[in-house]
Amino acid sequence: MNQIEIKNTTLIIAFVTSSLYVFGTSFYQGYLSHWGIEESLLPQAFEKTLFYGFLGASYLGAKSMVFLMLAVSANFGLAAASFALFERLKRRPWFRHKFTRKVKSQKTKSISTYIRYSGWGVLIAYWVFVVFLLSMILLWSAGYMGQFAAKNHQAHFENSGLYRVKVTLASGLVEDGMSIICSATHCAYLVCGKARVWPVSKIEMVESVPPEA
């Protein structure tokens, strides 16, 4: 593998990793927002955020990804058609006359720098807008998928008792509820319909309760 291949591979890995991280962060924020939990109470490690990125992509599903690729292809076709049309218009006398500049020392008119590079400028501006718009849509989708996952989580608990636990605190208090999520410092549980967050240091024991038959 030569240096160019190594560089390209590194760029691809960096792009995919950063995309998964941003996607995973939006998914995690959406998941916590369903429970009304502040994200700063339950920070996640880098590798776990990447996992949430994969999880969010799996919730989107193959069908959504196909529609996304079709939308990208349609935008690419529209941008290419617009660029081709602009290039054809530049060859029209009336178009050249309208966007040319007069040069005092010459009797003829020369095509301005704007005309020479405007086609590429329009194409680049268009794709910057498309990439920005698609990024916003994906981030919104990730947050929505996080809320969707949280609702499924809660529905499984309410319908079958899945994820049910008994939490024994250091004070001796025993709480019966559902496990939501844990970080290195705190754990969140659903108790009596409300999310409760306790420091790990105050949790004495957690017992898993088998779901109801």
Task: Note down the domain range covering 120.
Answer: 3-160
The average pLDDT across 87-108 equals 54
| 15 compared with 110, residue with greater pLDDT | 15
Asked if residue 171 and residue 109 are part of one domain, the reply reads: no
Asked if residue 200 and residue 131 are part of one domain, the reply reads: no
pLDDT digits (tens, 9 = 90+) for 111-162: 455 555 566 666 677 777 777 777 788 788 888 889 999 999 889 888 887 7
In whole angstroms, give the CA distance from residue 30 to residue 32: 6
Q: What is the mean pLDDT of the chain?
A: 77
pLDDT for 172: 87
Asked if residue 208 and residue 127 are part of one domain, the reply reads: no
Asked if residue 129 and residue 182 are part of one domain, the reply reads: no
Asked if residue 118 and residue 185 are part of one domain, the reply reads: no
Whichever domain contains 181, its CATH number is 2.30.30.100
Asked if residue 23 and residue 117 are part of one domain, the reply reads: yes
pLDDT for 1: 59
The average pLDDT across 48-74 equals 71
Cα-based distances in Å from 147 to 8, 83, 155: 36, 40, 12
Asked if residue 177 and residue 97 are part of one domain, the reply reads: no
In whole angstroms, give the CA distance from residue 126 to residue 200: 50
Asked if residue 96 and residue 27 are part of one domain, the reply reads: yes
With contact defined as beta carbons under 8 Å apart, do 179 and 189 qualify? yes
Asked if residue 128 and residue 33 are part of one domain, the reply reads: yes
- The 3-state DSSP class for residue 170 equals coil
- The 3-state DSSP class for residue 17 equals helix
Asked if residue 78 and residue 100 are part of one domain, the reply reads: yes
Q: Which of 143, 160, 177 is the last residue of a domain?
A: 160
pTM, rounded to two decimals: 0.71
With contact defined as beta carbons under 8 Å apart, do 186 and 165 qualify? no
The number of distinct structural domains making up the chain is 2
Asked if residue 131 and residue 197 are part of one domain, the reply reads: no
| 170 compared with 120, residue with greater pLDDT | 170
Asked if residue 155 and residue 166 are part of one domain, the reply reads: no
In whole angstroms, give the CA distance from residue 92 to residue 30: 52
| 167 compared with 100, residue with greater pLDDT | 167
